[in-house]
């Protein structure tokens, strides 16, 4: 199996609370992996540790030819890792004082070092792809939740990242906007973009994922194809969780 990203022995603690307790995971190129499990079990923290929004206490992260030791990573290594990942937040995390276009441009100019002209052209291309070609000059306050999240996804898309990380991308949305955001993620997935998606949408995980991971207590309890996890889970904890969420 050819790993595009490999996580080895990832540990993260907050005070006396061990949130990630030795995570090992390998993703192959183009694989879509959904992470499910109870709240507070480390799912979002795992994603945040992968691009050092939260710094892991121990472990290694390998992405392509780049390997980062969590305990010793310096700023250039962290920046190199972030250049290869795109992150989509639960709560959009857009800059309120920037237009949709400027929000998409921001990572291209600050992380990639592109000129404003080149970044603007790429941002306009992305706006068209996410169905917001006429909203480039709109500010977040004038956009629906679904539109804001599409801009957040567009910002991640613009980086042409090797790995896209989605942290419960529909959890902050009103029900009326969930469908449009899930449709956009499906469209990206159809291009065989490597994805790691934390989601509470079980049907979406079943449809989009090549593999589903169930986490509890900071550990990976069980993983397998959706047909196995949702139809024939092997671990009692997985079965109990799926019964609770219906």
Comparing C-alpha atoms, which of 177, 154, 174 is closest to residue 100?
Answer: 154
C-beta atoms surrounding 148 within 10 Å: 24
1 band by pLDDT with thresholds 50, 70 and 90: low
Q: Kindly report the average pLDDT of the chain as a whole number.
A: 94
The alpha helices in the chain, defined as continuous H runs, are 43-50, 75-83, 100-110, 116-129, 145-158, 175-190, 202-208, 226-232, 236-245
Domain boundaries, the chain: 98-158
The pLDDT value recorded for residue 246 is: 74
Q: How does pLDDT run across 110-132, given as a tens digit for each residue?
A: 888 999 999 999 999 999 999 99
With helix as H, strand as E and coil as C, how does 56-72 read? CCEEEEEECCEEEECCC
Mean predicted confidence (pLDDT) in 128-156? 96
CB 199 within 8 A of CB 168: yes
What's the half-sphere exposure (Cβ side, CA atoms, 13 Å) at 195? Answer: 30
Is residue 2's pLDDT more than 80? no
Cβ pair 191, 207 in contact under 8 A: no
On the question of pLDDT at 77 being above 70, the answer is: yes
Under 8 Å between Cβ of 157 and 85: no
Average pLDDT over residues 9-24: 97
At residue 84, the 3 state secondary structure works out as: coil
Q: Write down the pTM of the prediction.
A: 0.93
Angle between helices 100-110 and 116-129 (to 10 degrees): 130
pLDDT at 3: 79
Is the pLDDT confidence value at 154 over 80? Answer: yes
Reduced to 3 states (helix: H, G, I; strand: E, B; else coil), residue 24 is: strand
Instruction: Name beta bridge partners: 87.
Output: 165
């Amino acid at each position: 199996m050819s790993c595009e990203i490999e996580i080895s022995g990832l540990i993260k603690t907050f005070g006396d609370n061990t949130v990630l307790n030795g995570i090992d995971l390998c993703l192959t190129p183009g694989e879509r992996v959904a992470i499910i499990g109870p709240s507070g079990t480390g799912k979002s923290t795992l994603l945040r540790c992968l691009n050092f929004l939260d710094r892991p206490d121990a472990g290694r992260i390998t992405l392509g030819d780049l390997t980062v030791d969590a305990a010793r990573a310096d700023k250039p290594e962290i920046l190199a890792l972030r250049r290869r990942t795109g992150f989509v937040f639960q709560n959009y995390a857009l800059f309120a004082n920037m237009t949709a276009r400027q929000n998409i441009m921001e990572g291209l100019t600050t992380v990639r070092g592109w000129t404003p002209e080149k970044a603007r052209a790429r941002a306009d291309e992305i706006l068209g792809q996410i169905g917001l070609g006429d909203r480039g000059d709109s500010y977040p306050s004038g956009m629906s939740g679904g539109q804001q999240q599409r801009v957040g996804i567009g910002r991640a898309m613009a980086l042409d990242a090797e790995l896209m990380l989605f942290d419960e991308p529909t959890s902050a949305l009103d029900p009326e906007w969930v469908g449009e955001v899930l449709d956009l993620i499906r469209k990206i997935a159809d291009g065989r973009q490597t994805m790691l998606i934390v989601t509470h949408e079980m049907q979406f995980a079943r449809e989009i994922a090549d593999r589903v991971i169930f986490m509890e207590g900071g550990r990976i309890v069980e993983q397998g194809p959706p047909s196995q996890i949702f139809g024939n889970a092997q671990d009692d904890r997985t079965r109990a969780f799926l019964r609770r969420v219906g």
